[in-house]
Amino acid sequence: MRQSNGFSRGPLVDSIRPYQDQLRFSLGRMNGTTSWAYSLWRAPEGSDLSDDIPLSESYLQCAGSAEALTIELRQLDEDGVPHQWVVGKPAEVPSGPPTEVIQWDDGKHRTTVHPHEVFTAAEAGDVFVAYFLTDAVPAQCTLRALDLRH
């Protein structure tokens, strides 16, 4: 399943281009204004997608523009407790606070991340394709935990 801008949901289809190419195409169109967020998750087995587009507590999402995206991974642990992380490219994890600002939805929303947590659409495409194929981000990616209590 996929969702754009937090509201337009539907199945990921391969009728126009293969799934992996469709993911890369969608991320490449992000401009931070009319296209600024993208989420991907697996529908539960046996879902009737013509009747309902089910949401999931486990997903991969990004926001920003094709030039600068932030990616987050959300998964449930064995006890059903959600955990969410900012995904980063392989790098030495910085000791200081995040410094790079990513904006989306015409600047209405923003977050600050570390430099290695800023992705281009092409780089994000690799992460989304891996998630599509394996339900996980590439092993070499870093994960910085987010506090979901706020």
pLDDT digits (tens, 9 = 90+) for 115-140: 999 999 999 999 999 999 999 999 99
3-state secondary structure of 54: coil
Neighbours of 14 (CB within 10 A): 11
pTM of the complete model:
0.91
In single-letter form, the type of residue at position 127 comes to V
Give the residue, 96 or 27, on which the prediction is more confident.
Answer: 27
- Tokens of residue 105, six digits: 């939805």
Q: Which residues pair with 3 in a beta bridge?
A: 9, 39
Residue appearing with tokens 């309902």: 52
User: What b/e sequence results for 19-51 when a residue is b if at least 16 CB atoms lie within 10 Å of its CB, and e otherwise?
Assistant: ebebbbebbeebebeebbbbbbbebeeeeeeee
State the pLDDT at residue 24.
97
State the pLDDT at residue 146.
92
Between vectors from CA 21 to CA 15 and to CA 6, what angle results, nearest 5°?
A: 85
Q: Which stretches within the chain are classed as H helix?
A: 19-28, 121-134
State the pLDDT at residue 127.
98
